[in-house]
Structure 1
């Protein structure tokens, strides 16, 4: 089965761009998520942390 997949992968032109695109997409999402976490106000993070356990319901 691996030979079947490898054969078809080598027949695709410019297949090398897909790993690069996946890496760039992953790193972009990772950097944005890290930036959001580091710049978000600590009180908001504590509020979000307690949401599943909160007894009061706000609409």
Structure 2
């Protein structure tokens, strides 16, 4: 089955650029996420991490 996909992709001009664009998007996303985690305020992280443990006694309708 891979030979059918490879055969179709070889007929497309400039198809090699798409994996590079995908890798670049992937890399930029995780670098930005890492940067946000490093610069996030510790109080915000603590507040968000306690959300599942809070008991508001609110009834969901």
Q: TM-score, normalised by structure 1?
A: 0.88
Which residue of 2 is the match for residue 48 of structure 1?
A: 48
Moved over 3 A (4+): none
For residues 22 and 2 of structure 1, the distance between their equivalents in structure 2, rounded to whole angstroms, comes to 20
Specify the SS of the correspondent of 1:4.
helix
CA RMSD of aligned residues (A): 1.2
Equivalent pairs counted in the alignment come to 57
Cα distance in 2, alignment partners of residues 27 and 9 from structure 1: 24
Structure 2 residue runs without a partner (length 5+): none
Distance 1:29 1:19 in 2: 15
Aligned-partner SS, 2:12: coil
Task: Tell me how far apart the structure 2 counterparts of residues 38 and 55 of structure 1 sit (CA, whole Å).
Answer: 29
Which residues of structure 1 form unaligned runs of 5+? none
- The equivalences for 1:1-20 within 5 A come to 1-20=1-20
In the other structure, the counterpart of 2:36 is 36
TM-score (norm 2): 0.85
